[in-house]
Chains A and B, each alone.
Chain A
Amino acid sequence: MSQPAIRTNGLTKRYGSVRAIDGLELTVERGEVYGFLGPNGAGKSTTIDVLLDIVRPTAGSATVLGLDAREDRAAVHDRIGVLPEDFDFYDRLSGLKHLRFAADLKGADEDPLALVDRVGLDREDAERAVGEYSQGMRKRLGLAIALIGEPDLLILDEPTNGLDPNGAREMRELVRAENERGATVFFSSHVMSQVQAICDRVGIMNDGRLVAEDTIEGLRSTVGGGATLTFEFDQPPAPAEVDLAGEEAVREVTAGEGSLSVTCTEPAAKFRVIDAVQATGAEPRDLHVEESSLEDLFAAYTVDDGGPAGEEAPAASNGARDAVEVEP
């Protein structure tokens, strides 16, 4: 049981000349909730497809629960639960029939109605043909299928996509409950806020590589001290008028309607920003300070401005600063 839940070694998948995954080294330990973050097209779903032996890697290998994803596929799939991202059901069959079908295939004798209740699907809806289901209902049914047989590892690909905020919260509660039961959870998303509340660790993927990996606390301390200052004016100065040349801790200056926003990455830089704004001669009416969030960090890693994100996994703080251009 000591082997990691997921491990990839130099995993590469090429489609023609496109590298969907590029030498991925990923380790997910037993018992953790791992947030697999990245924008759409970063290679997250392809990685999951390789773990599930739906797609065959060009190079490298992947193990799931200590077993080879391809050679020991049957043993792996008996012990995992999966919610795929893009999937469909058999439209003419009811939700309950789907659950019985999946339970048969897993050799689990689970009460389908109990699963229906757990994922918040209406029992009446469960009797209806899946062709009539809404996006959210399909997602809940997919999750119920994933939960069959108390899997050791849950692989959830964009589970909160297509759910309303309430549904997304219920999804997170289920993930937490499954984790407390002892399941490892591998949770992919392109939205930081969906993973930061429940994940022990987060890996950020971009262009087929892991560009950052840390605990949520670690990422927070990276962001720590960063802030966006928003000045309100009757007559705001143009961003170019604010002289911040040579100021390394300033990431961005943007003009809004009657306002000017400056994002900086160090606490002390705030004072220099205020000085620079006042030096333009414009008189601010008000000033708001907003602490930088993990979302900002995520954006910094995944905006394709040619920063070091495509090279090798950089120290988080450098990546955050360099990946976004400073507008003069």
Chain B
Amino acid sequence: MSHALTIARKDVADAVRSLALWAVVGLFALLTAVVVGLPALLGDDAFTFREAIGAVVQIAGLIVPLVGLLIAYHSITAERESGSLRVLLSLPPSRRAIVAGKLLGRGAVVVLAGVVAVLLMSVVGGLLHGTLPVGSVLALGGSVTLLGLSFVGVAIGVSAAVSTRGRAMAVTVGFYTVAVLFWNLLLQAVQFAGVRLGVLTAGATPVWLRALSVLPPNKAFPRAFSGLQEGTLVGGSLVTSAALALVVMVAWVVLPPVLGYLRFRSADLG
């Protein structure tokens, strides 16, 4: 474990020197600050800071996944392609420690990025609105960092499983497209087909379909956010609960890296 921590520390030290990373984080922070600040600047009092945070959740569901994937998709393939992985593998750390270290390191970076963005948003919003809805801000901070972590998890898993940057990019872009852009459409297609085939009754949404609707981390994220904001983690049915959403997101942090490691473990890395 200490090897993984050492690798993670090095990874963070290396990543925070990356200009591209800070450009993306800065863009996200700027966007949230604009969403929160613009209505207040335009004198629209009807749009409160708390409501503005709701709008930020919408944007975060699109952008944070991109940030998470971007931070981590090339983390292991880069070392494999450049040959720095050879230096690492010549030293004591095991392959497992390398994958774990990358997950910890890039995870720390995405948490840092999330915290910076939410802090900036709080400062801008607090100054312009004159209030700070602490509960909403904390709920946003918590759920956004978990969202970022789950996409870092996906990207680390992919980066460990494939050998080149091109493949890692293809798989992560594919994942983003399906999970973020087309998931609702996909489920509607499934439901439509189910009705046409007579498996489902029209107008009714079975439990498994409702469970599937929170399967991607970005779909679980708004539920996790509102559950955290309202303090109701287990209200209503299990499939729509914030608790399940949180479990789903944590699973995305952990499972893809484990699967990626299983391929990485037996690969020729020369």
Interface positions of A (Cβ within 8 A of B): 45-46, 49, 52-56, 73-74, 77-78, 82, 84, 86-90, 92-93, 97, 101-102, 104-107, 142, 145
Shortest Cβ distance from B16 into A: residue: A92
Task: Let me know if B91 and A77 touch, CB within 8 A.
Answer: yes
Query: Contact between B91 and A88 (Cβ–Cβ < 8 Å)?
Result: no
B6 surroundings in chain A (CB, below 8 A): 101, 104-105
Q: Check B90–A82 contact: CB distance below 8 A.
A: yes
Give the distance in Å from the alpha carbon of A66 to the alpha carbon of B87 in the complex. 23
B13 neighbours in A (Cβ, 8 Å): 93, 97
Inter-chain contacts of B92 with A (CB < 8 A):
74, 77-78, 105-107
CA distance A97 to B83 in the complex (A): 18
- In angstroms, Cα B7 to Cα A93, docked, is 13
Instruction: Tell yes or no: B196 within 8 A of A by CB.
Output: no
* 0/1 interface trace, chain B 132-145, chain A, CB 8 Å (1 if under): 00000000000000
**Cα of A84 to Cα of B91 in the assembled complex, Å:** 11
Contacts of A88 in B (CB 8 A): 82-84, 86-87
Select from chain B the residue with minimum beta-carbon distance to A130.
B84
Q: How far is the CB of A21 from chain B (nearest CB, A)?
A: 12
Q: Across the two chains, which residue of chain B brings its CB closest to A45?
A: B270
Decide if A54 touches B270 in the complex (CB within 8 Å): yes
Nearest A residue to B266 via CB reads A56
Give A92 to B18 CA distance when docked, in angstroms. 8
B50: Cβ under 8 A from any A Cβ: no
In this complex, which of B7, B18, B268 has the most chain A Cβ atoms within 10 angstroms of its Cβ?
A: B268
Contact B84 A90 (CB under 8 A): yes
B84 in contact with A102 (CB, 8 Å): no
Asked if B268 and A87 sit within 8 Å, CB to CB, the answer is no
Tell me the complex Cα distance, A52–B94, Å.
11
Residue of A nearest to B93 (CB): A105
Determine whether the beta carbon of A55 is less than 8 Å from that of B269.
Answer: yes
B1-20: which residues lie under 8 A (CB-CB) from chain A?
3, 6-7, 10, 13-14, 17-18
